[in-house]
């Protein structure tokens, strides 16, 4: 059958937690406690990675690294990474359940995908202990994929490595990478899909890359909304996305489009376009 068999979705910023605010605020706080003021953009840039890797990436940013050296008189080391993460995890865990509301249209879209006969998997930058909070709270609000895995299940090799996608394919019995779509809201998500060889799709509204709450997005003028959407779309495309969508509600339509491409012998990375 020349058709998509499964869709693998990210969690925060894609299916729950509009704008992906749960982790970003904690990243800013732990650096502030260390005497380093990081920007919202710096805190978001590595989003989607395993959280300890995210902290390491932030410390490697030239401006942040420079601030660290100025304050402590030395470059950061791995103990600093571990110390920051030791503060990050309990702080995130204390508020995580408050950020498990499904993003608008997610529940209906996932139901439609399942009615189309597709398996719905998921990957995340959260650890298993974090997902032990997120999964049941999301389920109580009607969002439940068929499978999920964390970097804990791939020897801490999270995004942009492809291994979580492959574990989804194994668990869901998906037969080929060209019949799988990965959907996410960060550059790390896009690279995860690219590295796995599946169709890699960026969703824009509600994304960490867009970086706005629902109220902030709705408060923008139509022109400003379109400008922000276009900027996010370009970032995804520059990092290898095969497609972008404004909203996850466009996903069933995209599945049908990709079905036609597969039937024509097309494979991921052969064309990039925006779903209108």
Q: Are 160 and 191 a contacting pair, CB within 8 Å?
A: yes
10 is catalytic: yes
Beta bridge partners of 274: 244
242 in a known ligand binding site: no
Residues in the chain: 276
Maximum Cα interatomic distance, the chain, rounded to a whole number of Å: 61
The question of whether 3 is a catalytic residue gets the answer: no
Q: Is 101 annotated as a binding residue?
A: no
Residue 18 region by backbone torsions, left for phi larger than 0, else alpha for psi between -120 and 50, else beta: beta
Q: Of the listed 10, 17, 53, 242, which one is catalytic?
A: 10
Rounded distance, CA 44 to CA 21, Å? 9
Question: Of residues 17, 51, 119, 179, which has the active-site annotation?
Answer: 51
Of 192, 166, 173, the C-alpha closest to 11 is 192
Cα radius of gyration rounded to whole Å, the chain: 18
17 in a labelled binding site: no
Binding annotation: 10, 12, 185
Binding annotation for Mg(2+): 10, 12, 185
Please give the positions annotated as active site. 10, 51
């Amino acid at each position: 059958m020349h058709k998509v068999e499964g869709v693998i979705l990210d969690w925060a910023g894609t299916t729950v937690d509009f704008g992906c605010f749960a982790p970003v605020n904690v990243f800013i706080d732990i650096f502030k406690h260390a005497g380093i003021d990081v920007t919202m953009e710096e805190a978001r840039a590595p989003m989607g990675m395993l959280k300890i890797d995210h902290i390491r990436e932030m410390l490697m940013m030239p401006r942040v690294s420079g601030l660290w050296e100025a304050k402590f008189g030395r470059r950061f080391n791995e103990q600093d990474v571990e110390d920051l993460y030791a503060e990050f995890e309990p702080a995130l865990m204390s508020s995580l359940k408050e950020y498990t509301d499904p993003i608008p249209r997610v529940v209906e879209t996932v139901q439609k995908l399942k009615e189309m006969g597709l398996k719905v998997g998921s990957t995340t930058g959260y650890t298993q202990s974090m997902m032990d909070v997120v999964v049941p709270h999301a389920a109580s609000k009607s969002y439940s994929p068929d499978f999920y895995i964390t970097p804990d299940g791939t020897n801490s090799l999270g995004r942009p490595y492809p291994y979580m996608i492959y574990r989804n394919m194994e668990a869901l019995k998906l037969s080929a990478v060209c019949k799988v779509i990965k959907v996410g809201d960060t550059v790390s998500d896009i690279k995860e899909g690219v590295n796995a060889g599946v169709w890699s799709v960026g969703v824009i509204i509600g994304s960490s890359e867009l970086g706005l709450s629902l109220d902030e997005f709705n408060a923008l003028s139509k022109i400003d909304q379109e400008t922000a959407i276009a900027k996010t779309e370009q970032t995804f495309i520059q990092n290898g996305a095969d497609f972008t969508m404004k909203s996850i509600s466009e996903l069933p339509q995209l599945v049908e489009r990709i079905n036609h491409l597969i039937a024509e012998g097309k494979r991921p990375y052969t064309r990039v376009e925006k779903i209108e």
